Structure 1
Amino acid sequence: MDIEAAFHVVGEFGPYQKRAVAVLVLAQVYMACQSMLIVLVGSTPEYRIDRQQDGVQFSQHELRQHVTFTEDVDSIVTEWFLIRQQSYKVGLAGSLFFAGLLVGNVVFGPLSDKIGRRPVYLTGLFFEVVFGYVTAFAPSYEVFAASRLLVGLMNGGIGLVCFVLTQEYVGRSYWAMTGTLTSMTFAVGIALFGALGYFIRPWRNLAMVANSSGVLFFLLSVTLPESPRWLYSQGQTERAEEVLCYMAARNGNAANNLTLRRVAKAGDPNHRQTGVLQLLIHPVLRLRTMVLMYVWYACSLVYYGLTLGASEASGSRYLNVAMYGLVELPAYPLCIYFINKHWAGRRKSMASFLCLAGSACLCTMFIPENAGSMLSVTSLALVGKLMVSAAFNIAYVYSSELYPTVIRNAGLGVCSMSCRVGGILAPFVPSMRALHASMPFTVFCVSGLSAGCLGLLLPETLNRPTAETLEELSGPTHGRVLESKPLLYEDEKWKSNHE
C-alpha cells in the first residue's frame, strides 16, 4: 500500500497524532513571542533634551547627560540611549531577526529534506532557546543585535520544519486543519505576548520569561518520531512502517499487516536527485516556485508591515499588539470553510483574500483624519491584517500541497526566503511617509492586489492526490500542462485520467 492508504489503517488523526500536533502547534506561541519581541523591548518612550542650543548637536556621550525620558518605559532604547542618530539601531535589530529568518529558511529547509525533519527541528529549537537567553542577558547592543540574528536563524528553520511536521504526521484530509491551527496559534501567541508585556515591564525580564517557554516545548518535542512521509519518500520503508505501527498502537488500531510499497532509496540509481536546483530545472516546479515566491513576499510585507506598526498606533502599545494578534483569529475559520469548498478551493480563496487585503489598504487613503472610530485608518488596517492573515495561512497549506514530499521543505524554504525579504523590508515601509502620508498603504495595496492576481496562475489542489516524488509530479496527471495550457484544460485532463 502507499502512504495515504497506510494512514487510513493507522488513523488519519488519532489520539497520538493529536498529542503530537498539539506540541508542535503550541510551540508557535514561543515562536510568536520571539518574532514580536522587538516591538515591546524596542519601544521608544517620550523624552526631552535639556539645555540644547540651536544648531548644536550633542555627541552620544553628551546626549546621555542631557536626555530625560518622561515616560516610564524600560527598553533597549532607555538602556542604551538609542535615540536621535542612534534610533536606527532599533529597526536594525528587527531587520536582523528577519534576515536570520531568511537564512534559516534557505539552510534548514533543504537540510531537513536531506537528513530528516526531527533532528533539524530539535537542534534548531535547542539553539534558539540558548540564543534567546543571550538576548535577555546581552551586556551591549552589539551582543543583543547578534543574538537577534541567531534567534531569527533558528526560528526561521524550525518554524518551517514544525509546520511541515504538523502536515506529515496526519492524513492528507486533515492538512488544512493542522496548517490553520498552526497559524491561529501564532496569532494567539502575539496576543499573549502583548499581555505578557503589560505585566512584565523590564525588558530583560520580559525577554527571559518569553524565552523560557521554549525549554518546555523542547522537552515535549524530544519524544516526537520522525515523519513517516519523509521516511517513505526517502525509500526507508522499514523505518516508515515502524513509525506508522507505533502511531497505530498509540491510536488503539491494529496494524499488524501494514506493508508499504517499496520505492527507490536515496542512494539508488533509480532515485532521482532532489534539491533546490530542481525548483529551477523542473518545468512544473519552476513556474509554481516563481509565483509562490512573490505571493509569500507580498503576504509577509503586508502582514509584518501592519503588525510591526502596532506600537506606533495611538493608545496603549500593549493593547495594540494584542489587538493586532486577536484580529487574525476570525480569519482562520474562514480559511477552513472556503478552502474546502469546491467552488472556492485553495487558489481562488488565497487570491481573493490577498485582493481584499490590498483593497482595505487602498481605502485608507480616502479616509479623512477626523473620521469616526468605526471608520478610521486603524480599523481599515485591522481589516487588512485579518485578510492578509487568511491569505498567509492558505499560502502555507497550499504551497505544501503543490510540492512533492521529497522536495517539500526545500520548496517551502525558498518561498519562506522570499517571505523574509518582505519581513526585512517591512520595518522600513513606514518611513515612506516622508514622501507622502499614504505611501506605506500604497505599497501594501499594490503588493496585495498584484500577488492575488498572480496566484490565479497556480493549479487547484483540492481533492487531488499529493505527489510524493518528482516522478509522480512528472507523470501523466501533471506534465507541463501548467505552463502550456489553460488551467481549465489541466482540470479536465486530471478528471479524465482518474475516472
Structure 2
Amino acid sequence: MSLDKKIEMGYYKVIKKKLDLDDVLTEELGQLGKYQIMTILMVSFPVIFASMATNEYIFSTARIPTRCLIPQCDGDNPEYAPEWVLNAIPGSSMDSFDNCARYRNSSAASGGAGQCAKEWFDSTQTEPCDEYVYQNTLTIVYDFALACEEWKRSQIGSLRIVGAMLVQPITGYISDRWGRRVALILNTFNAGCLGLVRSFVHSYEWFLVTEILEAAVGGAAFMSCYILVTELAGPQHRVIAGATMSTILAFGQVVLGLVAWGVPAWRPMTRVIYAPHLLIVTYFWIMTESVRWLMSKGRYEESEAILKRIAKTNKKSLSDKSLQALRNSTEAQKLKEKLNEPWLVIQVIRSPTMLLRCVVMPILWITTGLVYGGLNINSVNLSGNRYLNYIYVALVEIPGYWTAILLLDRIGRKPVLIGGYWLCAGCQFAFALIPSGYNGLSLAFYLVGKYAISTVATSAFVYAAELYPTKYRHSLFAFTSTVSRLGPIVTPLTPAMALTIWEHFPSVLFGSFALLSGLLLLLTPETLGIKLPDTMEEAEQSSLRTRK
C-alpha cells in the first residue's frame, strides 16, 4: 500500500502515530538514493581533511632518535651513528644505543672528526647529554630541541584533545541552533586557518597554543558531517551511510600516511594538509541543510523545497498529501518550540532511561577513543617503516566498518558492539603476552585488535544516533563526545608510558577498558529496526518501537 493511500485511509490516525520523515524516505523518496549518495560524496572532502588534521600531530611531533654530542669526537657536521659511537655511548649494537646519556670522560684526550678511542671514556659511569645529535630534522623535536623530552612531546596530543573537548558542546549548540551545514563550514575553515598559522611558528609554546586552538574551534567537522548524512538516510540504510562515513575517515588517514611519507618535513606537510580546508566556504552555496533539522525547527517551507529536490534527484514522486501531513507535523513542532521546555540537563535527569544512556554511552566512547587512537599513535613505533605501519593500521579499519554493515542489521547492535569490544580485549592481552621476536604474530594481533575496535567505532555512532532524539541529538552527541575525550587525552601519553612504566602497559590498559565496555552494554536496549526518534518521549520508547 502506497504512503499516499495510507494517509487517505487515515492509517496514521488509527495507529495514533504522526507521519514522519522516515515514512516519507521509506515509501516515496528512497532511503539511499542518488541525492543521498551525492551528499555523501560532497562531505567526503571535509571528512578526509578532518581526518588528516586530527592525526597530523602523530607525524609532526614524532619522536626522533638522538644521541649525545661528543665534542672531542664529533666534527662540524656530526653523523648520527658513526663507527665509534659505542665507544662513547652505552649500547648493544650500532642500531641500539642510549639516546639520552653518554659515558663520562676518563681523559682530556681528543682527536679529529672520526677519531674516538674507547680509552677516552669511563664505561662504568654515565652522564646526561649536554647537547644532542639528531637522526633527522623532520619533526618539531629537532626544531624546538625536544630530544629526550618525551613527556613534553607527548603532551601536545593530549592538550589537543583538551581543546577538542571544548569544541564539541560549542559545535553541538551551533549545529542544533543554526544548522549542521553552518557547524561543518565553521569547523573546517577554522581548522584550515589555524593549521596554516601553526606551520610558521618558531617556538614550542606557540605550536602548542595553535594546536589547542585549532582543536577547540575546528575539531568537530566529522561529527557535523556524520549527523547530516545519517539524518538524511532512511532507517534501513542508516548503517550503510554511517559505515561509509567511517570508511572515508579511514581513507583520510591513509592519505595522511602517504602525504607524510612524500612530504616528511613537518612544515611543508602541514601546509599541504591544511590549505585545502579553506575551500569549504563554497559549501554555503552548494550544500543544502539537513531536512530533519529544518523540520525539527518548524521551518517547513525550506524543508519542503529540499524534499522536492530530493524527489527530483532520486526520480521519485512526492505526493501533496505527504507534504501536507509533514506540514501538520512540522507546524505542531513549531508550536512546541514556543513552549518553555525544561533545560536539557533537567529533562535527562528526570528520565531514568535517558540518564542511564547518558552515563553508559560516554564510557563506551571513552574506550573506543582510547583504544582506537592509542593503536594509531603506537603504530609508528612498531618495527619497520613507520609510514607503512600507519597505513596498514588505517586500512584494516575499512573491513571493520563493513563488517558492521553486514552484521548490525542481521544480529543487532548490541551483539556487534559486545563482540567487537571483547575481541579487541583478547587481542590486546595476547599482544602483551607474545614474547619478543615474534614480530609477525604481534603485528597480526595488533591489526585484528584495530579491526575489532573499528567495527565498534562505526557501530557506536549508529547506536548513539538511535538512542538520542533529533531535537537534542547533536547536543547529546556533543556531551557524549566531550566526556569521551578523556580517553583520547591519555592516548598520546601511552608511548611515554611504554618507555617509563612497562613496554606492554598500553596494551593491558586498552584491553581492560574494552572488556569493561562490553559488560556495560548489557545495561542498554537493542535498537535494531527502530525509527530514528525525534522527541525525548520517542527516544525513551525507542527500544519498544520497531519497524515492521
TM-score w.r.t. length of structure 2: 0.81
8 Å contact kept, 1:25–1:181: no
Cα deviation, residue 129, structure 1: 1.1
Instruction: Work out whether residues 190 and 322 of structure 1, in 8 Å CA contact, stay in contact via their aligned partners in 2.
Output: yes
Asked if the contact 1:48/1:68 (under 8 Å) is kept, the reply is yes
Which consecutive unaligned segments of at least 5 residues does structure 2 have?
A: 1-18, 71-101, 105-125
Q: Which sections of structure 1, spanning at least 5 residues, go unmatched? A: 479-489
Q: 1:80 to 1:431 in 2, by over 3 A?
A: closer
Cα distance in 2, alignment partners of residues 266 and 307 from structure 1: 48
2:192 to 124, 129, 149: 129
8 Å Cα contact 1:122/1:222 also seen in 2: no
2:21 aligns to what?
3
Does residue 340 in structure 1 map to residue 404 in structure 2? no
Mapping of 1:37-436 within 5 angstroms? 37-51=56-70, 54=104, 63=130, 66-69=131-134, 71-84=135-148, 86-220=149-283, 222-255=285-318, 257=320, 258-259=323-324, 260=326, 261=329, 262-265=331-334, 268-270=337-339, 272-273=341-342, 275-341=344-410, 344-371=411-438, 373-376=439-442, 378-433=443-498, 434-436=500-502
CA distance in 1, matches of 2:144, 2:344: 44
Question: Which one-letter code corresponds to 1:299 in the other structure?
Answer: T
Report how far residue 168 of structure 1 moved. Answer: 1.3
| Preserved CA contact (<8 Å) 1:109 1:409 | yes
- Change in Cα spacing, 1:186 to 1:276, as seen in structure 2 (3 Å) is farther
Q: Deviations over 1:139-171 (max 9, x none)?
A: 322221111112212343222111100111222
TM-score (norm 1): 0.88
Percent identical pairs in the alignment equals: 26
Shift in Å, 1:346 = 0.8
Amino acid aligned to 2:457: F
Q: Corresponding residue for 1:437?
A: 503
Question: Within 1, Cα distance between the matches of 2:62 and 2:375?
Answer: 16
Select the structure with the greater relative contact order (CA < 8 A; seq sep ≥ 6): 1
* Structure number, greater radius of gyration: 2
Could you say if the C-alpha distance between residues 266 and 234 of structure 1 is closer, same or farther in structure 2, counting changes exceeding 3 Å?
A: farther
1: CA distance, partners of 2:283 / 2:391: 27
Deviation at 1:267, TM superposition (A): 6.5
C-alpha spacing 1:438/1:242, structure 2 compared with 1 (3 Å):
same
CA distance 1:277–1:309, change in 2 (3 Å): farther
Answer with 189-198 or 11-20: which moved more. 11-20
- Return the offset for 1:204: 0.7
Structure 1 residue 326: Cα displacement? 0.9
Task: Compute the displacement of 1:81 (Å).
Answer: 1.1
CA distance in 2, matches of 1:471, 1:453: 27
How has the CA–CA distance of structure 1 residues 438 and 123 changed in structure 2, closer, same or farther, with 3 Å as cutoff? closer
The letter of the residue matching 2:466 is E
Secondary structure of 1:411's aligned partner: helix
Amino acid at match of 1:3: L
Residue 284 of structure 1 aligns to a residue in which SS? helix
Task: Report the Cα distance in structure 2 between the residues aligned to 1:278 and 1:206, rounded to whole angstroms.
Answer: 46
Alpha-carbon contact 2:184-2:225 (below 8 Å) kept: yes
Counterparts in 2 of 1:375 and 1:306: CA distance versus 1, 3 Å: same
Looking at structure 1, the residues matched to 387 and 338 of structure 2 have their Cα atoms a distance apart, in angstroms, of 58
Is residue 264–residue 270 contact of structure 1 (8 Å, CA) maintained in 2? no
Question: Residues 67 and 284 (structure 1 numbering): CA distance in 2 closer, same or farther, change over 3 Å?
Answer: same
1:425-446 Cα distance to aligned partner (Å, 9 max, x none) = 1122343333333322111111
How much has 1:271 moved relative to structure 2? 6.8
- d(CA) in 1 for partners of 2:400, 2:103: 52
- Paired with 2:281 and 2:447, the residues of 1 have a C-alpha distance of 33
Q: CA deviation at 1:234?
A: 2.1
- Checking the alignment, whether the CA contact within 8 Å between 1:304 and 1:423 is kept in structure 2 is yes
Q: Following the alignment from structure 2 to structure 1, what is the Cα–Cα distance between the partners of residues 33 and 503?
A: 52
Q: Distance in 2 between matches of 1:297 and 1:223?
A: 35
| Alpha-carbon distance in 2 for matches of 1:459, 1:298 | 19
Provide the rounded CA distance (Å) in 1 between the counterparts of 2:56 and 2:249. 13
Indicate if the aligned counterparts of 2:155 and 2:493 stay in contact, CA closer than 8 A.
no
Distance 2:191 2:449 in 1: 31
Question: Residues 274 and 406 of structure 1 are in contact (CA less than 8 Å); yes or no, is this contact kept in structure 2?
Answer: no
Instruction: Count matched residues.
Output: 470
- CA–CA distance in structure 2, aligned partners of residues 292 and 268 of structure 1: 27
SS of aligned partner of 1:68: strand
Deviating more after overlay: 325-334 vs 431-440: 431-440
Deviation of the 1:220 alpha carbon: 4.4
